Amino acid sequence: MKHRALTLACAVTLTGAAWAETAPEAVSYDYGAVAESLSGAPGDPEAGRAVMVSRGLGNCIACHEVTALSDAPFHGEVGPMLDGAADRWTEAELRGIVANAKMMFDGTMMPAFYKTSGYIRPGDAFTGKAATEPLPPLLTAQQIEDVVAYLLTLKE
């Protein structure tokens, strides 16, 4: 509630002005965690929910089961269930995990969602054709914040 009001107020006062966004290559990870909002703005949990289930965006449920998202079909079981994620991790840790989980879990299968280079044979989305780095990150700074805001609602 508080967040909503804040987002709205800011949106009104700052229309057109850019937030202080942190570029993917400028993110600083502290033991895998990222303290500051990547977009400079708070996240919207409703938008984050949509990113989590969308195949073209986060597609988080391809690998994770989330009880609160059971209305979306087909949850995978490659990663741990995310119920109670907010009890296990702080906001900064969740931000770090979503931005680049490899900083928190060495060699993890979870993709880095806020990264633009350092890939082997990077492709142009799902076309199978070559793409030149830097690539657009899988999620924007604001989408990461939205997902983090959603994850923070997952309490048991």
Partner 1 sequence: MKNKMLRSVAVLVAVGLSAPVLADEDADLVINEEIEITVRAPAPDHTENLSEIFSGWVFRSAETQAMQMDDFDNPGMIGVESAMADWAAVDGSEGKSCASCHEDAETSMKGVRAVYPKWNEEAGEVRTLEMQINDCRTTRMGAEEWKWSGDDMVDMTALISSVSRGMPMNVAIDGPARETWEKGKEIYYTRYGQLELACANCHEDNYGNMIRADHLSQGQTNGFPVYRLKTASLNSTHKRFRGCIRDTRAETFAEGSPEFIALDLYVASRGNGLSVEGPSVRN
What does 98 bind: partner 1, ligand HEC, none (CB cut-off 5 to 8 Å by kind)? ligand HEC
- Asked if 127 touches partner 1 (CB under 8 A), the answer is yes
Q: What is the DSSP string of 39-63?
A: SSS---HHHHHHHHH-TTTT-GGGT
Cβ at position 141, least distance to partner 1 in Å: 17
Cβ at position 11, least distance to partner 1 in Å: 31
Listed in sequence order, the residues at least 6 apart from 93 whose beta carbon sits closer than 8 Å to its beta carbon are 32, 33, 104
Of 43, 38, 39, residue with least CA distance to 7: 43
- Please identify which residue in 82, 112, 141, 152 interacts with ligand HEC, judged by CB under 6 A: 82
Listed in sequence order, the residues at least 6 apart from 132 whose beta carbon sits closer than 8 Å to its beta carbon are 122
CA gap 47, 102 in Å, rounded: 24
Closer by beta carbon to partner 1, 42 or else 137:
137
What does 120 bind: ligand HEC, partner 1, none (CB cut-off 5 to 8 Å by kind)? partner 1
Note if the bond before 134 is cis, omega within 30 degrees.
Answer: yes
- Please identify which residue in 6, 8, 78, 81 interacts with partner 1, judged by CB under 8 A: 78
The residue ranges that bind ligand HEC (CB under 6 A) are 52, 58-60, 62-64, 78-80, 82, 85, 88, 94, 97-98, 101, 105, 108-111, 113, 147, 151
